[in-house]
């Protein structure tokens, strides 16, 4: 009888926990950020146009016109609303009639829903720079296309 009670307790504890983990998301999962900086030249406006795939609706559009040296534009990806595998694509442009551009930039891409990720994009005159860590210096990744 004693043995049976222990067995019961262990079983209930084990399956009870499994159920809890199944129903509730892991705690302390920080949101993922995509951040854009405009370091072009005084007077420049960076146009940012992104499509974020969502579980509930097909896409969420993020549009912003960011002035030179303004506070960075931040897209917060709420990990609750993300499916496991997804890509946020953005079109960036600037200059007269948006002469300089880069389309379908994979601003954020993930195969699993990870937490607390940063993707920082810095628009400069010579192209688009990138870093994944605040402490890490950005590196040049793409040149601007022209139309
Ligand atoms: C970016 O531009 C491409 C083609 O020019 C277009 O197909 C795409 O929908 C645009 N993306 C966004 C986020 O507006």
Average pLDDT, the chain: 84
Q: What is the SS3 assignment for 20?
A: helix
**Which of 103, 105, 108 for mutating ligand 1's site (highest number of atoms within 8 Å of CB)?**
103
Report CA 104 to chain centroid distance, whole Å. Answer: 15
| CATH of residue 91 | 2.60.40
Same domain, 50 and 118: yes
Same domain, 20 and 64: no
Task: Judge if the beta carbon of residue 50 lies within 6 A of ligand 1.
Answer: yes
Same domain, 125 and 74: yes
* Residue predicted with more confidence, 113 or 86: 86
Instruction: Count up the domains in the chain and report the number.
Output: 2
Q: pTM to 2 decimals?
A: 0.80
Q: Find the mean pLDDT for residues 100-109.
A: 97
Same domain, 76 and 128: yes
Same domain, 35 and 6: no
Same domain, 8 and 52: no
- In this predicted model, what pLDDT tens digit does every residue of 7-51 receive, in sequence order? 444 444 444 443 344 445 556 788 899 999 999 999 999 999 999
Percentage of the chain beyond pLDDT 70 is 78
Same domain, 19 and 47: no
Same domain, 140 and 101: yes
Same domain, 36 and 77: yes
Provide the residue count of the chain.
147
State the Cα–Cα distance between residues 129 and 122, nearest whole angstrom.
Answer: 5
E strand intervals along 40-85:
45-53, 59-67, 73-77
Instruction: Specify the residue with its C-alpha closest to ligand 1, atom 11.
Output: 91
**Residue 135 sits in which domain range?**
31-146
Q: Tell me, what's the pLDDT at 83?
A: 61
């Amino acid at each position: 009888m004693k043995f049976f009670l222990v067995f019961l307790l262990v079983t209930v504890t084990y399956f009870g926990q499994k159920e809890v983990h199944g129903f509730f998301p892991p705690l302390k999962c920080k949101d993922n950020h995509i951040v854009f900086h405009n370091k072009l030249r005084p007077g420049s406006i960076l146009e940012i146009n992104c499509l974020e795939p969502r579980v509930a609706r097909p896409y969420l559009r993020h549009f912003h016109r960011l002035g030179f040296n303004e506070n960075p534009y931040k897209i917060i990806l709420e990990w609750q609303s993300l499916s496991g595998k997804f890509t946020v694509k953005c079109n960036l442009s600037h200059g007269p009639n948006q002469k300089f551009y880069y389309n379908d930039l994979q601003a954020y891409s993930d195969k699993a829903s990870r937490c607390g990720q940063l993707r920082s994009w810095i628009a400069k005159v010579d192209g688009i720079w990138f870093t994944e860590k605040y402490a890490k210096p950005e590196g040049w990744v793409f040149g601007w296309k022209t139309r």
